[in-house]
Amino acid sequence: MSSLQKIIIDTDPGQDDAVAILLALASPAEIDLLGIVTIAGNVGLARNTLNALKVLELSGRTGVPVHAGCARPLLRPLVTAEHVHGQTGLDGPDLPAPQSEATPGHGVDFIIDRVRAEPEGSVTLCALGPLTNLAMALVKAPDIAPRIGRIVLMGGAYFEVGNITPAAEFNIYVDPEAADIVFRSGVPLTVLPLDVTHQMLATPERIAAFRNMGNRSGAAIADMLGYSERFDLAKYGWPGAPLHDPCVIAWLLAPEIFSGRHCNVAIETTSELTRGMTVTDYWHVTDRPANAMFIRSGDADAFYALLAERIATLP
């Protein structure tokens, strides 16, 4: 059992982001969710922010502040993924329009202010989308880098190669310059790449477990995964679609179900062919200093058992 961890979730909800947020909210003994910051990614910023508010109200935990972050990458035009997540970004469940609104104040400033305000090393940043907000915070306030306890992010790929291109995973691809800033920041990093998320397949049996849970959160998750799986099942032909972002929160809750290696991960930012590739020195063939715990595998049964156990505690 891990002790109480203060986290900020940076997210572009997205069905899998929503499940990650719900997992965090369903674990109050281990996770103190200080706030949610939204980023443009799966769909545009406004819809991602609306979706974050919807997910909080689904969970009944409306006391968590949601701050809108950046509306586009640092340098490049925004690339979105409506083809995977639907026009709303959270297609599947019919969630009501939120009663609450985003909290005033930019998400980048929220990250900076909370990292400065909390005891040094006590805040974990959990990034579930493009890394623009984290990069902007590190550039605007370099003093926060040594104060951040750890950045745990879903992104990248090495043995599993890319998803949005043959070389790159979506979160890194959308803003490779931001990822480069984060991976060079010196902040302790844990990376949950496609290598491990592609092992966490939402099979029909696993989706049925949410459907049969008897609560609105389980039913909504079943609708979310039942919608977003279409694209991946057609693409990969696997028995289930990979479930990406909840791996970040699951690693915080149960790191023992994952395994990986501390190694150097560098980001391709110049080649258009391999833009956003996470060049991972997993076998230590260079003298590039290790900057990330790169998670290569996980126990899928343990992952889904943890998810089901926690989601069942929500309304």
User: Catalytic residue numbers?
Assistant: 244
Residue 69: strand, helix, or coil: coil
Interface positions, 34-53, toward Ca ion (CB under 5 A) = none
Shortest CB 286 distance to Ca ion, Å: 30
DSSP calls for 220-271: HHHHHHHHHHHHHHHHH--SSEE--THHHHHHHH-GGGEEEEEE-EEE--S-
Q: Quick one: 17 or 281, whose CB is closer to ligand RIB?
A: 17
Interface positions, 105-144, toward ligand RIB (CB under 6 A) = 128-129
CA distance 50 to 68: 10
Q: Quick one: 14 or 69, whose CB is closer to ligand RIB?
A: 14
- The verdict on 276 binding ligand RIB (CB under 6 A) reads no
Q: Quick one: 65 or 155, whose CB is closer to ligand RIB?
A: 155
CB count within 10 Å of CB 153 equals 27
CA 227 to chain centre: 19
CA distance 219 to 235: 25
- The verdict on 12 binding ligand RIB (CB under 6 A) reads yes
Residue in 89, 93, 98, 129 binding Ca ion, rule: CB under 5 A: 129
- The verdict on 228 binding ligand RIB (CB under 6 A) reads no
* Sequence-ordered list of residues with C-beta below 8 angstroms from that of 272, at least 6 positions apart, any chain: none
CA distance 38 to 52: 8
Angle at alpha carbon of residue 308, lines to 53 and 101, rounded to 5°: 5
Shortest CB 248 distance to ligand RIB, Å: 9
How many residues form the binding site for ligand RIB (CB under 6 A)? 15
- The residue range among 17-25, 63-71, 116-124, 296-304 that interacts with Ca ion, by the rule CB under 5 A, is 17-25
The DSSP call for residue 136 is H
- The residue range among 14-22, 54-62, 269-277, 306-314 that interacts with ligand RIB, by the rule CB under 6 A, is 14-22
**Which residues are at the interface with ligand RIB (CB under 6 A)?**
12, 14, 16-17, 41-42, 128-129, 154, 163, 169-171, 244-245
Q: Applying CB under 5 A, which residues contact Ca ion?
A: 12, 14, 17, 128-129, 245
